[in-house]
Structure 1
Amino acid sequence: MRWAQVSVVTTHEGADLIGNILMELGAAGTEIDDPSLVNEYIDAGLWDYTDLPRAEDTDTVTVRAYLPEDERLEGSLLTLTARVEGLRRADARIGAGTISHTFVADEDWAETWKAYIHTEKIGQRIVVRPTWEEYTPAEDEIVIDLDPGAAFGTGAHATTAMCLRWLERLVSPQMRVYDVGCGSGILAIAASKLGAGEIIAMDYDPVAVTVADENIRANNVGNVTAIQSDLLAVCEGAEPAELITANIIADIIIRLFDQLDAHLAPGGVLLASGIIDDRIADVERAAAEHGYTVLDMTCEKEWAAMIIRRSADLEH
């Protein structure tokens, strides 16, 4: 399979906006080429040797992401163009907003990401390790073996890291967990290794489901199943879950509230992340309109993760 490496030339202010659009379109992660960071490293002497010249133009950055070359690609590129133009009409400072793309093969995509993904401890116990690196865990650590594959969610992004830290506090033995918009499957795998019972990981994107299934098998977590589904549709008629995770985007989380009552057990918790800071109020409003309360929230790098419960459950 080939992938489209999509690049958008923008500004520092526009980078997060463009990155968010790309993720909404199903991007397999994003990277930012920021010349000012290169200058900072040169000036700080953090490299023993470099022949890189100092960048002259530090106001322009390039956001890159990967989209699968399938029947949706053309529509995704048209949508990206329309959304970027929409930002321009709204007077967002996005700079040139120039969009281009090239194609890379699966193996080229994977090799590209090896330069960016390394073993990382997230929270108190969870360690995320790419399969090409060696790591000896401490006695209480939980190691998740994860290659970036083609789905968003390696633990490096703030939204995923916040969810992993929350899972260390929320997961109880044998609890039922639904992971909506599972991406790489990292949250479902973490929940399993933290002691949860039956876990269903679901994603609308079939590529994400395939990658999640591969990661599930690589981590030998037999109580996790990856299934294609539009939100919680696949759980219709199944027992409700004590914990539902949704590391997606604000608009999809708002849609999720319509299905939540039927699938969240009494006293259960929704862990919602992927919420850009200027959409926090929208999610809080939608929660209240559906009879839910945001109990707690963590914020990192302009993103928020929320702990949400039924308001009625709080009265008992």
Structure 2
Amino acid sequence: QNFVGFLAAMFFFAVGDAFRTGVHKAMIFEYLLKQQKQQFKTDYYGRTRSWSQMGTAFSSLLAGAFVVLTGDYGLIFLFSIVPYVADLLLVMSYPKWLDGDNDSAQTSVSERFKIVWKAFLASLKNSFMLRGLTNNAVHSAFYASAKDYLQPLLKVLALSLPLQLFQEAEKQSAMIIGLVYFLIYIGTSFMSRYAGNFAKLFSQPSKPLNLTLFAGLLAGIVSGFFFQHGFELMAVVFFMVILFNENLRKPIGIAYVASLTDQKSMATLLSVQSQLKALLAAIFAPFIGFLADKYGIGNALIIFGIVVIVLSPFYWVRRVREEG
């Protein structure tokens, strides 16, 4: 009921999540380095993300059930505290050596910030790094901006189904949406789990990154076309392709960026990637929203997809052997 308070809460959540995800990914790769298994970056992170998506799948079912039983969406936010506390306890159980070099405690915060900042600026001069960061961020931002339009699509589809599960339209849509999201996240879990296998089909990580970037944008265009012409079910199917595609390419992209930097600046760069995604999503979302208001959701996805594909040469990832 207090939109400003809700906006402030989501802002702090987004900032914290951007830093948290970057640091956590760096910790995963630090662990692999310690175990001398750096070659398994994509496989290991893919399986880690797979379990995350599996948790989201069951959360979707629980969220749908809460709405059906209570009719209160606010309870979902309240109950979400439980897994966050469990996750905090899990992180506290990590090996102490993952906290970093204890000798750095003798260095002031400002000096450490300067060291990392210089390493970050040096990395940005690397064209592979710039393209890798942007390539990942563009698709993730498109996914983050466009996925919010999936729920209205599902609501339209749920209310148009001949099967009437509940007398109240709100409960009908909540149950259908919860079930569909459950199936979607089971699928995204599967895609993340086998991202490493998919990457091994190519000689260079640039190939699957560019291929999946184009595939995701094309799926958005096709979804928009079907929605614009009244084929809601097909629109939802191709919308799901965007979600599957994001979780197939994410482990490959993260491993690609991590391989182009050193351990000292890895956490910073992976956090920057999360923040770049958030920044681009903040740009993409109102642009797609403006197009949706003016031309409809379907045409908005078509126009946006075409524009991003036209601009893709600026963030097309080149082959690693071209480096230098």
Q: TM-score, normalised by structure 1?
A: 0.23
The higher radius of gyration belongs to: 2
Indicate the structure with greater strand content: 1
Query: Looking at both structures, which has the greater relative contact order when contacts are Cα pairs under 8 Å and sequence separation is at least 6?
Result: 2
Indicate the structure with greater helix content: 2
Q: TM-score, normalised by structure 2?
A: 0.23
